[in-house]
């Protein structure tokens, strides 16, 4: 909310600098997010009085004006049609004056010398008016030569205050001024306005108000002014509104806005002569009923919406926006001013369903002070008659079917001490609460506090504790450390994710973090589009589906890297995937995925190569081995659709399928515009942690090993794994370790064959083995394998 420092000081009766005030407010919970000086430093811009105005000798649209600048008469060429004649007073920028980017200098216009410029509001940045030059009103009495900043009282600071939703009272200058006065240790006593002149028939005789829904409209007040003259507001009013971000319209509308900014009460002015039967009816809309609002949009309403109607038709959406009919126009002579209290959630629902928010709905939905109606109406009629003339029809209408009682809350200073960790003196508590407008009565150790209706946020003791703490400031609250109790930890998931990340980093991969939402199309391409959870209001269709796999994020990283001329990545991600479960909340699973693609980092002279299946396999093996001593098995079958059917395997630990590793399916790669050879792993951390077993230390052997090697000639399509396993089985308990150390095809090997070389380590736990013993076992094992696999020994 934009706030005028000058106005604030005026209402609060305080005298501090703008920056000091900003700091005070910020540390009392009204955060000043910006502070801007306005109207200052308009040097060489002065009040001028026109002495003579003649037509320009050669240009029809210009006039030549002689202006008294206080220090002599200067000649200025002026293009504005409203430039006044002799006696008229204007704002004159003399040579050397700076107006924004523009510097005023002497120059010739159509051959006539011009030594300055007569300015418009826009040129001075003091208002929106640019249709003509600013002509000073008679009320502004400053003589020619007076600096315009002083003459018009332009100097001010505009504070931009972030008002939290609990402080509807601070959506007004008076609300903020109350805090400001209290913070400056001043009594809040704003000067009352002189009431408007009354005349003519009493208000009850000229207008009637009927409330048909007291729940949504507990109070509706109104006043009527007659004989008004609608026109532009005086400069001071326009200037204030301009600075506070509201466009001046006419004196009646400007007055309602100014009062709203002062009091926080939204008002609406109707042309009384346009209201059928001079009557206001507050009722709920009929289903499908429509109204064209001021912004010229036709709105369809539901039975939940509250309407302001005359005897014939709706004229406003209550608390949100006026309708196209019955507004104030240049011809209006009698106005009815609405000053109502509408139920906050009702206004909010209507504003939400119509997707229509206004200064008015913003305040109503946060809750205005329902008790201020009469005072606000009095202030409004006073200001309006001052600006637009006329008289007030005697009296006010105050339809008040449902009373709203102030909250009574008891406050224990001991509770304050308990919550804040220090004691506040009862005297100070009393001072602060009364300063906030509360009624405070002492009852034994406690206070009985009546909360003003301007503070709907205060309903409990803790709210009062907050108020006292806020005004005192948090600065001198002591800092202490709480007593700690030891509790058994319950942090399995957190630890799992962390451990996984640490292991993956130790395997040489970088951790990636990607958005959890992806496009439906990428899930479809990957074949992972079952049980997808969707966002109802996504930021874009690319971010509509919750990921069911971590692969899209890593694929995105690879593509981004390639677009930045980086050949590949070696990254992993640990995160949740989301799966429709049929229950209230989707199933979330913690997974780890890795993607390696592109050249493998090598050392000097290493033959360059790209990541392949065996790299991702090595990563998966190392990863699982670092988390569990349970045996890892990689089996074909249980394929995932996005992996190459012959270059992928499922990862099992203790018969639990943790996920898969392999090369990206070439067709999927093509659809994703990636080249072949992208290697992936995706495993469920949740599943792994269920079966995980701490690695255990093996007993160290006491006796030396003996090693025997064997090279076997096999069919090219025979996999090495089963051969090794068969060897391990056949070499009895003495064969402790079987290691494949060479795979060879080429020279010396017949076509369609390959050579596998294994090394077997023999060892007994209780004695040193003899050569013969080992040779026998080894021979039998090799023969067994030769038989089973139709192999030949090389």
Partner 1 sequence: MEPRQIIEKLGQLAERYEAELGQASDEQAIRAGQAAYLGNKGEVTALQKLMKDIEPKARKDVGRALNQTKERISKATDKALGEINQRRGREYLDRHVDLTLPGRPPVGVGAMHPLSIVMYDIVDVFVSMGFDVATGPEIETDYYNFAALNFPQDHPARDMQDTLFIKEGETLLRTHTSPVQIRTMLRRPLPIQIVAPGAVYRRDDDPTHSPMFFQIEGLLVDEGVSFADLKGVLEAFIHEVFGKDVKLRFRPSFFPFTEPSAEVDIQCIACKGEGCRLCSQTGWLEVLGSGMVDPNVLQEVGVDSERYTGFAFGIGVDRIAMLRYEGISSIKLFYENDPRFLSSFRR
Q: Contact, 389 vs 381, CB < 8 A? A: no
What would the DSSP string read from start to end of 244-311?
TT-----HHHHHHHHHHHHH----EEEEGGGSGGGEEEEEEPPTT-EEEBTTS-EEE--TTSEEEE-S
What's the min distance (Å) between Cβ of 698 and partner 1? Answer: 20
Out of 26, 226, 628, 759, name the contact with partner 1 by CB under 8 A: 26
Q: Kindly state whether residue 255 participates in binding partner 1, applying the rule CB under 8 A.
A: no
Does residue 491 bind partner 1 (CB under 8 A)? yes
Nearer to partner 1, 39 or 553 (CB): 553
**Rule CB under 8 A: is residue 730 a binding residue for partner 1?**
no
Q: Report the nearest approach of partner 1 to the CB of residue 487 (Å).
A: 6
474 vs 703, beta carbon nearer partner 1? 474
- Which residues within the stretch 697-716 sit at the binding site for partner 1 (CB under 8 A)? 716
User: Is residue 542 involved in binding partner 1 (CB under 8 A)?
Assistant: no
Residue 517's nearest CA partner among 572, 577, 560 is 577
Rg of the Cα atoms in the chain: 42
Work out whether 31 is an interface residue with partner 1 (CB under 8 A). yes
Does residue 763 bind partner 1 (CB under 8 A)? no
Cα of 52 vs its chain's centroid, Å: 58
Beta strands 632-635 and 643-653, pairing class: antiparallel
Torsion angle in degrees (nearest 10) through CA of 21, 24, 25, 26: 120
Kindly state whether residue 9 participates in binding partner 1, applying the rule CB under 8 A. no
One of 17, 37, 510, 770 touching partner 1 (CB under 8 A): 510
Structure tokens at 4: 């005028």
| In the complex, minimum distance from the CB of residue 744 to partner 1, in angstroms, rounded to a whole number | 12
Residue 746: CB minimum distance to partner 1, A? 16
Interface with partner 1 (CB under 8 A), residue from 490, 530, 747, 751: 490
**Burial environment of residue 403 by CB neighbours within 10 A (0 to 12, 13 to 18, 19 or more):** exposed
**Closer to partner 1 by Cβ: residue 199 or 645:** 645
Rounded Cα distance, 718 and 730, in Å: 18
Query: In which element (H, E) is residue 496 found?
Result: helix 492-506
Site for partner 1 in 375-394 (CB under 8 A): none
**Rounded Cα–Cα distance for residues 220 and 41 (Å):** 46
| Ranges within 600-619 binding partner 1 (CB under 8 A) | 601, 613-619
671 binds partner 1 per the rule CB under 8 A: no
Find, among 772, 774, 791, 784, the residue nearest to 709 by Cα. Answer: 774
Residue 720 interacts with partner 1 (CB under 8 A): yes or no: yes
17 forms part of the interface with partner 1 (CB under 8 A): no
Nearer to partner 1, 393 or 512 (CB): 512
187 interacts with partner 1 by CB under 8 A = no
Nearer to partner 1, 33 or 775 (CB): 33
DSSP letters along 734-790, please?
Answer: TEEEEEEEEEE-STTS-TTEEEEEEEEEE--SSSPPPHHHHHHHHHHHHHHHHHHHT
Rounded distance between C-alpha atoms, residue 682 and residue 20, angstroms: 58
**498 binds partner 1, rule: CB under 8 A:** yes
Contacts of 637 (CB under 8 A, 6+ apart): 650
Provide, rounded to whole angstroms, the least separation between the CB of residue 528 and partner 1: 17
Side-chain-facing half-sphere of 444: CA atoms under 13 Å: 5
Q: How far is the CB of 785 from partner 1 (least distance, A)?
A: 15
Please pick, from the candidates 294, 311, 423, 505, the single residue that binds partner 1 as defined by CB under 8 A.
505
DSSP state of 588: E
How far apart (Å, rounded) are the C-alpha atoms in residues 645 and 705? Answer: 41
Residue 522 as a binder of partner 1 (CB under 8 A): the answer is no
Q: How many CB atoms lie within 10 A of CB 630?
A: 19
**Cα–Cα distance list, 496 to 492, 553, 629, 660 (Å):** 6, 21, 16, 19
Q: Which of 83, 533, 658, 782 binds partner 1 (CB under 8 A)?
A: 533
Binding residues for partner 1 restricted to 295-354, rule: CB under 8 A = 344-345, 348-349
Q: Which of 2, 10, 16, 27 binds partner 1 (CB under 8 A)?
A: 27
Residues 44-103 that bind partner 1 (CB under 8 A): none
Residue selected from 286, 441, 534, 787 as contacting partner 1 according to rule CB under 8 A: 534
Which residue in the set 41, 191, 487, 697 belongs to the binding site for partner 1 (CB under 8 A)? 487
For the CB of residue 13, give the shortest distance to partner 1 in the complex, in Å.
Answer: 23
Q: Cβ distance 342 to 318 under 8 Å? A: yes
Q: Would you say 428 or 495 has its CB closer to partner 1?
A: 495
Site membership for partner 1, residue 185 (CB under 8 A): no
475 touches partner 1 by CB under 8 A: yes
Kindly tell me which of 133 and 632 has the beta carbon lying closer to partner 1: 632
Among 103, 513, 541, 770, binds partner 1 (CB under 8 A): 513
Place of tokens 């090693």: 707
The answer for residues whose C-beta is within 8 angstroms of residue 161's C-beta and 6 or more apart is 1, 2, 3, 25, 30, 31, 32, 33, 170, 176
Phi-psi region of 152 (alpha: psi -120 to 50; beta: other; left: phi over 0): alpha
Rank residues 487 and 700 by Cβ distance to partner 1 and give the closer one. 487
Considering the rule CB under 8 A, would residue 755 count as an interface residue with partner 1?
A: no
Residue 89 or 284 having the CB closest to partner 1: 284
Task: By CB under 8 A, tell whether 204 contacts partner 1.
Answer: no
* Interacting residue with partner 1 among 262, 310, 430, 466 (CB under 8 A): 466
| 753 binds partner 1 per the rule CB under 8 A | no
Among 108, 331, 485, 673, binds partner 1 (CB under 8 A): 485
Assess 435 for contact with partner 1 (CB under 8 A): no
According to DSSP H, which parts of 98-247 are helical? 121-124, 148-151, 173-183, 203-206, 235-243
- CA pair distance 765, 782, nearest whole angstrom: 23
Q: What is the DSSP track for 607-645?
A: PP-B--HHHHHHHHHHHHHHH-SSPEEEES-S--TTEEE
Judged by CB under 8 A, the stretch of 217-225, 431-439, 448-456, 473-481 that binds partner 1 is: 473-481
Per CB under 8 A, the segment of 123-131, 158-166, 388-396, 695-703 that binds partner 1 is: 158-166
Interface of this chain with partner 1, residues 626 to 665, rule: CB under 8 A: 634, 636, 644-649
Number of residues that bind partner 1 (CB under 8 A): 119
Contacts (Cβ under 8 Å, ≥6 apart) of 92: 45, 46, 47, 48, 67, 69, 74, 76, 116, 117, 118, 119
> How many CB atoms neighbour CB 774 within 10 A?
21
- Does the protein bind partner 1 through residue 527 (CB under 8 A)? no
User: Hey, is 546 helix, strand or coil?
Assistant: strand
- Which 413-432 positions form the footprint of partner 1 (CB under 8 A)? 418-422
Residue 769 interacts with partner 1 (CB under 8 A): yes or no: no
| Closer Cβ to partner 1, 379 or 409, answer by number | 409
Q: Under the criterion CB under 8 A, does residue 599 sit at the interface with partner 1?
A: no
In sequence order, the 6+-apart residues with CB closer than 8 A to the CB of 68 are 48, 49, 50, 51, 144, 145
Q: What part of residues 358-377 is at the interface with partner 1 (CB under 8 A)?
A: 365-366
Binding status of residue 508 toward partner 1 by CB under 8 A: yes
Tell me which residues in 555-584 interact with partner 1 (CB under 8 A): 556-557, 560-561, 564, 566, 569-571, 575-576, 578, 584
Q: Is residue 174 a contact point for partner 1 (CB under 8 A)?
A: no
Q: Minimum distance between the CB of residue 302 and partner 1, rounded to whole angstroms? A: 15
- Please tell me what DSSP assigns to residue 195: P
From 150-158, 212-220, 271-279, 503-511, give the range in contact with partner 1 by CB under 8 A: 503-511
């Amino acid at each position: 909310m934009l706030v005028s420092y000058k106005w604030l000081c005026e209402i609060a009766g305080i005298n501090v600098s703008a920056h000091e005030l900003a700091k005070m407010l910020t540390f009392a919970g009204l955060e000043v997010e910006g502070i801007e000086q306005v109207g200052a430093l308009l040097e060489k811009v002065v009040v001028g009085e026109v002495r003579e105005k003649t037509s320009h000798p050669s240009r029809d649209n210009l006039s030549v004006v002689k202006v008294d600048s206080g220090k002599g008469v200067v000649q200025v060429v002026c293009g504005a049609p409203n430039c006044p004649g002799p006696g008229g007073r204007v704002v004159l920028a003399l040579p050397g004056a700076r107006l924004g980017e523009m510097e005023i200098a002497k120059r010739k216009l159509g051959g006539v010398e011009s030594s300055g410029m007569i300015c418009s509001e826009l040129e001075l940045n003091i208002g929106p008016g640019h249709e003509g030059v600013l002509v000073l009103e008679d009320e502004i009495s400053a003589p020619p030569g007076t600096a315009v900043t002083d003459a018009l009282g332009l100097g001010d600071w505009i504070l931009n205050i972030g008002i939290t939703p609990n402080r509807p009272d601070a959506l007004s200058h008076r609300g903020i001024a109350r805090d400001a006065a209290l913070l400056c240790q001043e009594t809040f006593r704003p000067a009352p306005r002189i009431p408007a002149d009354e005349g003519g028939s009493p208000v009850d005789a000229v207008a009637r108000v009927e409330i048909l829904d007291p729940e949504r409209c507990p109070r509706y007040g109104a006043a009527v002014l007659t004989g008004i003259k609608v026109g532009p507001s005086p400069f001071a009013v326009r200037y204030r509104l301009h600075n506070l971000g509201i466009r001046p319209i006419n004196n009646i509308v400007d007055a309602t806005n100014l009062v709203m900014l002062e009091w926080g009460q939204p008002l609406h002015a109707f042309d009384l002569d346009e209201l059928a039967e001079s009557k206001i009816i507050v009722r709920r809309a009929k289903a499908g009923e429509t109204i064209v609002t001021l912004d010229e949009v036709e709105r369809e309403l539901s039975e939940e919406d509250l309407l302001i109607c005359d005897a014939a038709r709706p004229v406003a959406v209550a608390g949100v926006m006026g309708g196209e009919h019955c507004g104030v126009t240049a011809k209006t002579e009698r106005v009815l001013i609405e000053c109502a209290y509408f139920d906050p959630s009702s206004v909010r629902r209507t504003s939400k369903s119509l997707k229509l928010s206004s200064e008015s709905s913003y305040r109503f939905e946060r809750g205005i002070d329902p008790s201020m109606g009469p005072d606000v109406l009095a202030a409004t009629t006073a200001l309006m008659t001052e600006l637009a003339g006329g008289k007030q029809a005697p009296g006010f209408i105050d339809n008040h079917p449902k009373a709203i009682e102030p909250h009574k809350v008891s406050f224990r200073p001991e509770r304050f001490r308990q919550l804040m960790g220090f004691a506040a003196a009862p005297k100070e508590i009393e001072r602060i609460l009364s300063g906030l407008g509360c009624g405070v009565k002492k009852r034994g150790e406690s206070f009985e506090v009546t909360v003003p209706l301007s503070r709907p946020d205060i309903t409990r003791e803790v709210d009062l504790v907050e108020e006292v703490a806020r005004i005192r400031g948090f600065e001198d609250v002591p800092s202490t450390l709480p007593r700690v109790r030891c509790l058994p930890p319950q942090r399995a998931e957190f630890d799992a994710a962390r451990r996984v990340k640490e292991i993956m980093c130790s395997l040489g991969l970088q951790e990636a973090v990607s958005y959890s939402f992806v496009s439906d199309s990428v899930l479809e391409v990957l074949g992972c589009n079952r049980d997808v959870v969707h966002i109802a209001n996504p930021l874009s269709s690319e971010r509509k589906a919750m990921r069911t796999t971590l692969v899209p994020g890593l694929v995105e990283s690879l593509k981004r890297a390639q677009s930045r001329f980086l050949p590949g990545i070696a990254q992993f991600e640990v995160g949740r995937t989301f799966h429709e479960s049929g229950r209230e909340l989707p199933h979330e699973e913690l997974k780890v995925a890795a993607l390696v693609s592109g050249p493998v980092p090598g050392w000097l002279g290493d033959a360059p190569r790209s990541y392949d299946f065996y790299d991702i396999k090595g990563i998966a093996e190392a990863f699982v081995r670092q988390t569990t001593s349970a045996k890892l098995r990689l089996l074909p079958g249980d394929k995932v659709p996005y992996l190459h059917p012959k270059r992928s395997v499922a990862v099992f630990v203790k018969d639990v399928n943790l996920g898969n590793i392999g090369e990206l399916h070439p067709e999927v790669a093509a659809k994703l515009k990636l080249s072949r050879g992208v290697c992936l792993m995706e495993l469920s951390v949740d599943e792994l942690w269920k079966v995980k077993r701490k690695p255990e230390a093996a007993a160290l052997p006491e006796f030396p090993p003996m090693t025997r090697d064997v090279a076997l000639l096999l069919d090219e399509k025979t996999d090495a794994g089963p051969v090794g396993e068969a060897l391990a089985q056949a070499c009895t308990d003495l064969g402790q370790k079987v290691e494949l150390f060479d795979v060879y095809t080429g020279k010396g090997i017949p076509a369609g064959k390959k050579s596998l070389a294994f090394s077997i380590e023999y060892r007994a736990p209780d004695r040193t083995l003899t050569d013969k013993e080992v040779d026998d076992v080894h021979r039998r094992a090799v023969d067994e394998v030769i038989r089973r696999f139709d192999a030949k020994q090389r």
